[in-house]
Structure 1
Amino acid sequence: MLSPLSAVSPVDGRYHNTTKELSPYFSEAALIKYRVFVEIEYFIALCEIPLPQLQHFDRPLFKKLRDIYQNFSESDAQAIKDTEKITNHDVKAVEYFIKNKFDEFGLSEYKEFIHFGLTSQDINNTAIPYSFKLAIDEVYLPNIKAVTDQLRSYAGEWKDVPMLAHTHGQPASPTRLGKEIMVFVERLEAQLDLLAQIPYSAKFGGATGNFNAHFVGYPEHDWKAFGNHFVNDILGLKRSQHTTQIEHYDNFAAHCDALKRINNILIDLDRDMWTYISMNYFKQKIKAGEIGSSAMPHKVNPIDFENSEGNLGIANALFEHLAAKLPISRLQRDLTDSTVLRNIGVPVAHTLIAMKSTMKGLGKLLLNQPALNAHLEANWAVVAEAIQTILRREGYPNPYEALKELTRTNQEINAATIADFVETLQVGEEVKAEIRMISPATYTGI
């Protein structure tokens, strides 16, 4: 039996407790359940037309049919897997399972309308986007919102904390810590808005997308309108109008690309937080009993941000492959999408591990404001931009060059150096007083 100690993938092994909430959406049992769900809802939709042979189907039985997927159990999934060993076809095994249920319910006369006119991809290409949408709405979005909410809280808490900025790794015009945190909030929310605009597309149209079997059986019926109503209104997805045997996956690829961009922002956040910790801008809360290094007792490593970065890299590699591979299929279809698409839960799982690790790391942060202040005080050269700007305003000759000559030397630039320089300027006392008010801690913009 599979256990966290015997699992090959760390998603189901080491990180099982972190990722188990994704099992209802991406496990083999979940895939089977959502196939059953689509098949049952499709049969009910045929009854609602109604097709002539289904017009007398007892409508109160709809609840009994829906109970098949609403009360779907692991033993039901196993029964379908056992049938699959014989059929060597996973969706056909689902069809037989439901037909057996119809026999048990005394509905055998209707069972040939289960899976009527469909190909397996009509089931797969609706069940998978349906479960994917649920996972995004019910697991992914609450977790990424937790990250953005925590960042927004820190941005408010630290909005007035001055901090030396670094561009190209060198001291640069000072900023405020809260504003730098808000950069990530804005980036994440912008990309989440884009993610929300991508439809969850689904294919539904028979063997090669033309409703061939439906039309030949019932040419008088508007099957395109039926397919649109079933996919768009009943399943809550968006039906692609012109397809081959399979969904073309372009919007699915867009989801993967959007999730990858959000992950890139989280990687950027992880690396910045890691660097701020290494600069001693943050200390980390210590948990009794935890060990940072097997050799160096003093260490408290930023392992949560490192863990997050590593898992985001794995997730993005998989999202990249899914986005590049799935939209490509030979002629009206090949089978390469099938095995690849089964892995969609894997990058989502690594992303979930990463988000929870980032949250854990953020929760450990302790602001070390004396270290930020000391770094500002050690870098008075950064006020050169402010001084030369005021001198430009006053029409002072060659102000940039004057500050460049002062600051780009090997001598130490400190408060006294700047004060002495101000005294040499040929400007009025009011301008000198204005310049004297500038310091690395006050030159932080708006």
Structure 2
Amino acid sequence: MPTTKHTLSSGRAALAAAVPPVALGPLDGRYQPVVAPLVDHLSEAALNRNRVHVEVEWVLHLTDRRALPGLSPLDEAQRAGLRALVTDFGPEAVAELAEIEAVTVHDVKAVEYYIGRRLPGLGLEHLVPLVHFACTSEDINNLAWALGIRDAVEDVWLPAARSLVGDVQELARVAAETPMLSRTHGQPATPTTLGKELAVLAHRLGRQLDRIGRTEYLGKINGATGTYAAHYAAAPATDWTEVSRTFVEGLGLTWNPLTTQIESHDWQAELYADLARFNRVLHNLCTDVWSYISIGYFQQVPVEGATGSSTMPHKVNPIRFENAEANLELSNALLDVLGATLVTSRWQRDLTDSSSQRNIGVAFGHSLLAVSNVAKGLARLDVAEDVLAADLDQNWEVLGEAVQTVMRAEALAGVPGMDNPYERLKELTRGRRVDGRRMQEFVAGLGLSPEAEARLSALTPAGYTGVAAQLLRYL
């Protein structure tokens, strides 16, 4: 059976438009425009549309395969009529399902009845018993969630995250050769380049995106306890495991052959761990960039008409990065809980996963909002090369590492007088500032070979960056 992703994509009829103007949470209120694309995948309405999609495709699959006596493939008009239940799914369908559920007090049973009501109009009233055939609710739910999560990741979150990583890479390339004083433990340390440090973060983020891009989205359709008992009771001659496998794979998912009543959700926990790790690396980028802004390495380009502080007109606050930090922390709190909760189900089934999964969209929403804010924040940054240069020029003591390492090499080459290089540099530099003149006087008095002395005498903090700029070729 060919993939049905196109059918599902055609049914995303701006579900976000149904969001009320007054909302309890900020994702559905203040920040709704940023996270609206997720509504078409991870909202309650999207879940119901995906349930309809799974139920419809199950009917088509069973008829195509003649899985039961008397079944035969539907004609094109009938197939199109069934799939229109997905492509035409909108606010009216949402409202009707809510009315049915108010009576059934069961969301998946409401979907079954919703579809059954429409079959007579398609000339398919004889197939009403085939809707939800041999299915437990979780057969439909696990597939509907997998479709929604897959499409939210592939169509919304990953493109935004990849675009952001591209922005970090571009900024890294712009600043590839801009020397910068490092600060290990917050103290002046061996210089690097601003671009190389940003490249480290871009590389880390990119690795997590690669992992997320390789996610397997698993699904199952095998009955009340994963044994196909009802299936074989009804049609013992049918190879139901093969029917199940081809159906799940036809939806564009990976078939899980061994489950209880529920698909075990391990793949979700794996995805959320990778997503949380991306969030944590991005949080690290936010704190680093915020710190660089605070010491003047970056200047923020003011937004026309914007207010930085309600009382201090000179300020341009790094609010994009601060907002992102908070949203990344909120996202990870949910992702960590989801990953821990979803992998456990008492015996063959409990309902903790049902309540938990309804917060998947919130977890993704806070992450997407953070990604958006970081992208906007990076777009308003200028590198203050004069500030970086002045900082380097006031910290010549960082060349102590270079001098004592050259002295070690000289000692190994048989040059006399190179004893205790570390201790001698420590005495010169520990706890004090050393300017260029003092460092060059010290080097001149060491008795180095002419070649080594010339090399060190020409060295400046800004020039002591090794191959930092060239390392960007690994991006």
State the TM-score bracket (shorter-chain normalisation).
over 0.9
Corresponding residue of 1:186: 203
Structure 1 residues 132 and 103, CA, compared in 2 at 3 Å: closer, same or farther? same
Q: Percent identity?
A: 42
Corresponding residue of 1:315: 331
Corresponding residue of 1:403: 425
Distance (whole Å) between structure 2 residues aligned to residue 281 and residue 191 of structure 1: 27
Contact 2:162–2:209 at 8 Å: present in 1 too?
no
Corresponding residue of 1:71: 88
> What whole-Å deviation, never above 9, does each CA across 1:221-245 have from its counterpart, x for those lacking one?
111111111101x111112111111
Partner letter of residue 462 of structure 2? A
Structure 1 residues 389 and 308, CA, compared in 2 at 3 Å: closer, same or farther? same
Distance (whole Å) between structure 2 residues aligned to residue 258 and residue 429 of structure 1: 53
Matched, 1:11 2:33: no
* Residue 427 (structure 1) shift: 2.2
Distance (whole Å) between structure 1 residues aligned to residue 409 and residue 428 of structure 2: 19
Partner letter of residue 274 of structure 1? W
* Residue 385 (structure 1) shift: 0.6
Q: What SS does structure 1 have at the residue aligned with 2:461?
A: coil
Return 420-429 or 146-155, whichever deviates more. 420-429
Q: What SS does structure 2 have at the residue aligned with 1:54?
A: coil
Corresponding residue of 1:141: 158
* Residue 301 (structure 1) shift: 0.4
* Residue 431 (structure 1) shift: 2.3
Distance (whole Å) between structure 2 residues aligned to residue 118 and residue 427 of structure 1: 83
Partner letter of residue 465 of structure 2? T
Matched, 1:348 2:348: no
Corresponding residue of 1:418: 439
Distance (whole Å) between structure 2 residues aligned to residue 195 and residue 330 of structure 1: 28
Corresponding residue pairs, total: 443
Q: What SS does structure 1 have at the residue aligned with 2:180?
A: strand
Partner letter of residue 32 of structure 2? H
Structure 1 residues 56 and 265, CA, compared in 2 at 3 Å: closer, same or farther? closer
Distance (whole Å) between structure 2 residues aligned to residue 275 and residue 59 of structure 1: 62
Corresponding residue of 2:286: 270
- What CA RMSD, in Å, does the superposition of the two structures yield over aligned residues? 1.2
* Residue 59 (structure 1) shift: 4.8
Matches within 5 A, 1:58-97: 58-97=75-114
Return 265-274 or 397-406, whichever deviates more. 397-406
* Residue 337 (structure 1) shift: 0.8
Matched, 1:391 2:391: no
* Residue 409 (structure 1) shift: 4.2
Corresponding residue of 1:154: 171
Unaligned runs of 5+ residues in structure 2 are 1-17, 412-417, 468-475
Corresponding residue of 1:102: 119
Corresponding residue of 1:441: 462
Distance (whole Å) between structure 2 residues aligned to residue 283 and residue 379 of structure 1: 22
Corresponding residue of 2:246: 229
Corresponding residue of 2:320: 304
* Residue 430 (structure 1) shift: 2.9
Corresponding residue of 2:5: none
Matched, 1:324 2:344: no
Specify which of 448, 451, 456 is matched with residue 430 of structure 1. 451
* Residue 52 (structure 1) shift: 2.1
Partner letter of residue 398 of structure 1? N
Specify which of 30, 35, 38 is matched with residue 22 of structure 1. 38
Return 47-56 or 97-106, whichever deviates more. 47-56
Matched, 1:41 2:62: no
Matched, 1:122 2:139: yes
Q: What SS does structure 2 have at the residue aligned with 1:117?
A: coil
* Residue 53 (structure 1) shift: 2.1
* Residue 2 (structure 1) shift: 5.8
Partner letter of residue 9 of structure 1? G
Distance (whole Å) between structure 1 residues aligned to residue 23 and residue 132 of structure 2: 35
Partner letter of residue 64 of structure 2? E
Q: What SS does structure 1 have at the residue aligned with 2:287?
A: helix
Matched, 1:378 2:394: yes
Contact 1:163–1:372 at 8 Å: present in 2 too?
yes
Matched, 1:281 2:297: yes
TM-score (norm 2): 0.91
* Residue 109 (structure 1) shift: 1.1
Distance (whole Å) between structure 2 residues aligned to residue 359 and residue 203 of structure 1: 38
Contact 2:301–2:381 at 8 Å: present in 1 too?
yes
Q: What SS does structure 2 have at the residue aligned with 1:45?
A: helix
Q: What SS does structure 1 have at the residue aligned with 2:463?
A: coil
Structure 1 residues 2 and 433, CA, compared in 2 at 3 Å: closer, same or farther? closer
Contact 2:60–2:73 at 8 Å: present in 1 too?
no
Return 388-397 or 267-276, whichever deviates more. 388-397
> What whole-Å deviation, never above 9, does each CA across 1:388-442 have from its counterpart, x for those lacking one?
11111110211111111111144x3110110111121122333221111111000
Distance (whole Å) between structure 2 residues aligned to residue 45 and residue 136 of structure 1: 26
Contact 1:54–1:110 at 8 Å: present in 2 too?
no
Distance (whole Å) between structure 2 residues aligned to residue 90 and residue 261 of structure 1: 34
* Residue 203 (structure 1) shift: 2.5
Contact 1:163–1:177 at 8 Å: present in 2 too?
yes
Contact 1:246–1:333 at 8 Å: present in 2 too?
yes
Matched, 1:164 2:181: yes
Contact 2:191–2:462 at 8 Å: present in 1 too?
yes
Runs of 4+ in 1 over 6 A off after TM superposition: none
Q: What SS does structure 2 have at the residue aligned with 1:172?
A: strand
Specify which of 149, 173, 187 is matched with residue 190 of structure 2. 173
Partner letter of residue 229 of structure 2? N
Distance (whole Å) between structure 2 residues aligned to residue 337 and residue 33 of structure 1: 19
> What whole-Å deviation, never above 9, does each CA across 1:56-89 have from its counterpart, x for those lacking one?
6435411111111111121012111110000001
Distance (whole Å) between structure 2 residues aligned to residue 3 and residue 219 of structure 1: 50
Matched, 1:208 2:225: yes
Unaligned runs of 5+ residues in structure 1 are none
Partner letter of residue 352 of structure 1? L
Partner letter of residue 62 of structure 1? R
